[in-house]
Amino acid sequence: MSSYLSSVQLWCEEIQAFYHTSIQVFREHANPKELQDWEEKLAQLQQDLSSNTSLQDWQAYQQASELYTQLNNYLTETNHPQSTNQDRINNQVPIGGHTLPPLPYPYDALEPYIDQETMRLHHDKHHKSYVDGLNKAEKELQKARATNNFDLIKHWERELAFNGAGHYLHTIFWCVMSPQGGGQPSGDLMREIQRSFGGFEPFKKQFTEAANAVEGGGWAILVWSPRARRLEILQAEKHQNLSQWDVVPLLVLDVWEHAYYLKYQNERKKYIENWWNIVYWPEVEKRFEKAKQLKWQPY
Ligand SMILES: [Fe+2]
């Protein structure tokens, strides 16, 4: 068997493992017949791969990719317009219930640009540890709320941000790369890149320079600002700095000294306590309604 096919075989095992760990979710979003068909197709592909048939590399990739995409589609509500309110609730990732998404291609698919060993280590070890750390932080914060003991709030908020940012960014990262990648975008995105940066080349140059200049670990990130209605390029050093990416702010409280010092001096606590009297919930509700419309596959 070619090394590419054995890599597809490992990918299939990964997809299968993911399917089994999240089987409850799939049962809620697909009917038993669909799931049975999916299982049979995967079993068939695995059999073809191990029995050394004349399966070509590209055929194996295509079949595995279809199975992967189908599985992901079960996680999105749009394919199931008949889904009920209960489904909507179930569609959430429960507290401490994040899972490692399988790669959308085999480990060696991005060779020669990114090597197989790096992909394996990066996905299986590094990304997995973010998922575990995020689940742990969410559960510890849940415990803190239940016991009203917030002694370790700083620690767990830091863990929540560090691991949450890591999990969400890596989940995006795997999917914005592909063996069929390269070239330039088209359509609306290209038009917006031209409008925001003056062309694809200036965009690529700024993104590259931003990535080169990240101090230590971090990311270069192309973002959409719903406020400016423009694209922007940002750096995320160490990726967290107490914040997660891929989330939408709903309610914010400014605790810089300039926000309260004239009246409260160093009594930040008092300022925060009083602030609750002026929170305008209709605005927060409005933001929440808008933000809820943005839906990604839950992981
Ligand atoms: Fe990473």
| pLDDT tens per residue across span 109-167 | 989 998 898 999 999 999 999 999 999 999 999 999 999 999 999 999 999 999 999 99
Residue for token pair 């973002």: 223
How many A from CA of 122 to the centre of ligand 1? 6
Residue with tokens 């933000």: 291
* pLDDT score for 82: 47
Closest CA to 59 of 4, 20, 111: 4
Domain span at 163: 93-181
Res 60 pLDDT > 50? yes
Give the residue-averaged pLDDT of 26-44: 89
What is the average per-residue pLDDT within 169-197? 91
Q: What does the mean pLDDT of the chain come to?
A: 86
Q: At residue 88, does pLDDT exceed 70?
A: no
Q: Based on the fold, state whether residues 13 and 58 are members of the same structural domain.
A: yes
Q: Which of 91, 121, 155 is the last residue of a domain?
A: 91
- For residue 133, the CA-to-ligand 1 centroid distance in Å is 14
Q: Of all helices (H) and strands (E), which one includes residue 138?
A: helix 128-147
Instruction: Provide the number of structural domains found in the chain.
Output: 4
Gap from CA of 47 to ligand 1 centroid (Å): 33
Judged against a pLDDT cut of 70, whether residue 281 lies above it is answered with yes
- Cα dihedral 117/122/123/129 (nearest 10): 140
Choosing from 162, 181, 200, the residue where a domain stops is 181
Q: Which residue has the higher pLDDT, 210 or 21?
A: 210
| CA 163 from centre of chain | 11
Is the pLDDT confidence value at 171 over 50? yes
Whether 9 and 64 share a structural domain: yes
Q: From residue 291, how far is each of 39, 226, 285, 295 by CA, in Å? A: 35, 10, 10, 9
State the Cα angle at 293 between 290 and 297, rounded to 5°: 140
Co-location of 11 and 65 in the same domain? yes
CA 123 / ligand 1 centre spacing (Å): 8
CATH number of the domain where residue 209 is located:
3.55.40.20
